[in-house]
Chain A
């Protein structure tokens, strides 16, 4: 599918770095995934657009986190393979993979007393050997990761004493310091309030636009996926139902199919991307399109 956006073109970030050479290509072929006796994903094919932000959306237990874990080699496929530049993931040495592909699991927990600087520094471990544990490159990577996430001032604070948003930024900073061209994030906005969610998503966009990193993230919020992703993958029962630019994927029909939710789609007044407005069974008193269509089911309120 095309990766060109139907929305307004992005404003060029002033002083942004030139796009680096295209990063590695991540793809899945005939992927079968499961736990114990349960099959979660059956025969899935996927090519992640390099240098773009991809969001995987779907109802609970549709296999989106399972897919992300398989893309990161945290879960071995039962059949098929995940390939990085054509090489099967399982054939790549562990450390080499960790220099190419970073994964941030859902709500990781930092040990008590670990400082932000120490946590971010551990992101450098795939680049370190036991005699070279803190090279100039490590130092620079940690410094710029702290700066990019706005955590320089908090570097000496223990992670467990930070607010939820700061803590999530610290973990993202660790993944940033790892310096991988591909970054996989499992629900990076879970448990954050709205302001912090936007904060984290803006940060991820910065990383993608400034450094050209390929980002794949599992997101719960469809509207955020539409606004922040270049490519949306909608999953249902372990299969990909639709993928492509947000405007192509997030339609009333797809949302009803994937989430079993009737909705209207309006353009997001800020970004112009699709904005999902659920119908539900109540509160149909507005004068909008939705109220008229649903009027037969629920009588409109009369003053």
Chain B
């Protein structure tokens, strides 16, 4: 045996142990399950998840009819007086749940897009999907072509149609991440111009209704919005997490991924559909809540110290940011309720600038 080869007794790890948060493998004997135990990732996920749950409960406690935090938690489990139960579970829960689920959907979607294209700027709110949803809704409102469909359904169709358009235009013997971004930015501006044109053309009442949806809002959500989003997440979230292994190879570039046995184009299409589905259903429920899909995966990546945005932690970060922003939107100016999208936009824009500046400094040009 060459001298460099391993010793007779396998050492626990060839890599020097450095900290308690270091990744280490685990291996079970009976079911042959093995994997990497990533303490920092798990810890980040738990902390962000607990934080999001705290904001969720806090949001349920706030309002004209005061409910204490312990009462909120009890009411969630169906314990308490009928008045409190009605206020918490019937009046306030749909809004809080929508915020939670929309945050998760946008966060996971952003993580999927950013990993697939290897570019933090390639989130769905940058490549035209939310703009496409907006154009569809505004067109319906201004031109009166709702076709019996709700605004949310129209938003969903708009996002899906835009995604198909971007993918078709970016396809040239296989769609690469870089082309998806460039085409997406172009399509995004076309949609924005179309929306502006429609708003300018419509009468004042219609334009205001359309603009109200375009900003991203959690006001007056109902159980029907929660239900459709929850069903979508129940399907798309496991799909996104299940493709995590392939995302790890795609992150190394298409050729390396193919060499490592990844069916690149089918996986890319599946990831694209999953990411589009998440953002489309999220947009349908709450409108385009700005910057969540762009910023949250990048925040999660830095908190967890990973090289690609971790999907689940990105989703939890999304929930945290949307719920926190909604609290801020409700409480920042007494007597006025801002739409949540204004707050996330104000918080997210600096994150975008920071990403652009960093990308330029690193020489990758974004």
Contact = CB atoms under 8 A, between A and B. Distances in A.
Given A144-B6, A147-B4, A156-B16, A135 B252 contact: no
Contacts of B173: 35-36
Interface string B245-273: 10011011101101111110000000000
Interface in A118-164: 118-119, 121-123, 125-126, 128, 130-136, 138-140, 142-144, 146-148, 152, 155-156, 158
Contacts of B305: 113
A288 interface: no
A103 B258 CA distance: 9
B360 interface: no
Interface stretch (B31-39, B154-162, B318-326): B31-39
B1 A113 contact: no
A118 B251 CA distance: 12
Please tell me the size bucket of the interface on B.
35 or more
Interface string A91-108: 000110111011111001
Contacts of A146: 14
A17 B15 CA distance: 25
Given A17-B1, A105-B253, A97 B261 contact: yes
A109 B306 CA distance: 16
Contacts of B16: 155-156
Contacts of A99: 261
A227 to B, nearest CB: 22
Chain B's interface: helix, strand, loop or mixed, by majority?
loop
A35 B118 CA distance: 24
A112 B120 CA distance: 11
B362 A126 contact: no
B255 A133 contact: no
A106 B44 CA distance: 36
B256 A139 contact: no
A131 B33 contact: yes
Contact of B255 (A36, A95, A108, A138): A108
A16 interface: yes
B261 A98 contact: yes
A98 B259 contact: yes
Interface string B77-94: 000000000000000000
A178 interface: yes
Contacts of B336: none
Given A15-B1, A95-B261, A136-B27, A128 B6 contact: no
B5 A110 contact: no
Contacts of A155: 14-16
Interface in B14-50: 14-16, 18, 22-23, 25-27, 31-36
A74 B265 CA distance: 12
A142 B10 CA distance: 13
B3 interface: yes
B256 A105 contact: yes
A117 B255 contact: no
A95 B249 CA distance: 13
Contacts of B15: 117, 152, 155-156
Contacts of A123: 260
A128 to B, nearest CB: 7
A16 B5 CA distance: 11
A73 interface: yes
A102 to B, nearest CB: 6
A210 interface: yes
Nearest to B35: A133
B1 A136 contact: no
A17 B118 CA distance: 40
Contacts of B306: 113
A112 B261 contact: no
Nearest to A101: B259
A16 B27 contact: no
A94 B260 CA distance: 9
Contacts of A103: 255-256, 258-259
B307 interface: yes
A249 interface: no
Given A102-B259, A103-B259, A131-B33, 16 more contacts: A74-B255, A94-B258, A98-B260, A103-B255, A104-B256, A108-B255, A111-B118, A125-B245, A125-B261, A128-B245, A131-B35, A134-B27, A134-B34, A140-B10, A147-B6, A156-B15
12 contacts: A15-B3, A103-B259, A108-B256, A111-B252, A112-B307, A113-B307, A132-B32, A133-B35, A138-B34, A143-B14, A148-B4, A210-B2
List of 9 A-B pairs having minimum Cβ-Cβ separation, nearest first: A98-B261, A103-B259, A114-B307, A126-B261, A133-B35, A105-B255, A143-B14, A95-B261, A134-B25
